[in-house]
Amino acid sequence: MQLSFQERLESIKAGCLGAIAFGLVYGLTWLGNSYFSLLTTPNSDWMSLGLNVGSSLLSGFLFAVTYRYIIRQDDNAHLRDGAVLAFTLVRSGGLIELPTTEDPLAIAILMGESLISFAVVRSSLDWAMDWGWLRPFNS
C-alpha cells in the first residue's frame, strides 16, 4: 500500500505537534525538578541536557505519528489509553537505567512525567483532530 503525499504531510503535522507538546511538558517538568530538586541535583551539563531535550522531542514526534496510525477512525478509549501507557512504559524503562534512579520515588517521578507528557500529546492530537486541523489516518 502506497501512502499518498497528503497522508505523509498529515503525519508530519501530527509529529510536529507531538514534539512541541512533549517538549513543553518536558521543559516544565525539568524546571520543576530543578526548582524542587526532586531528582538529586539538576544536571548542568549542556550536552546531557541537549540529548535529553532531543530525546523528548523525538519521543513526542514518534508517539504522535504512531498514535495517528493506531487510532485511525476508531473511537475506542481503551486503544487510545493503551497507546499512551505503552509509550510510557517503553520510555520509562529506558530512563530507569540511569544512575539517578536508585530511589523508588525517582522512578515514580520519571514514570509520572512520561505518562503526563504522552497524555498531553494525546490530548493535543485529539483536540487538533476535533477542530479539523489534523486528520486521522484513513484505513
Let me know if residue 120 belongs to a domain.
Answer: yes
Let me know if residue 15 belongs to a domain.
Answer: yes
Give the Cα separation of 130 and 58 in Å (integer).
24
In the DSSP assignment, the letter for residue 2 is P
Let me know if residue 110 belongs to a domain.
Answer: yes
Percent of the chain at pLDDT > 70 equals 86
Find the angle CA(76)-CA(79)-CA(81) to the nearest 5 degrees.
110
Let me know if residue 66 belongs to a domain.
Answer: yes
Between these two residues, 51 and 22, which has the higher pLDDT value?
A: 22
**And the C-alpha cell for 77?**
478509549
Domain count, the chain: 1
Q: Taking the model in full, what pTM does it have?
A: 0.84
Let me know if residue 96 belongs to a domain.
Answer: yes
Let me know if residue 135 belongs to a domain.
Answer: no
For the segment 90-100, the average pLDDT, to the nearest whole number, is 72
Let me know if residue 112 belongs to a domain.
Answer: yes
Average pLDDT, the chain: 84
pLDDT confidence of 92, banded at 50, 70, 90?
Answer: confident
pLDDT confidence of 108, banded at 50, 70, 90?
Answer: confident
101-120 as b/e: b if 16+ CB within 10 A: beeeebeebbbebbbbbbbb
For the segment 77-104, the average pLDDT, to the nearest whole number, is 79
Let me know if residue 64 belongs to a domain.
Answer: yes
For the segment 51-62, the average pLDDT, to the nearest whole number, is 92
Domain hosting residue 9, numbered range? 5-130
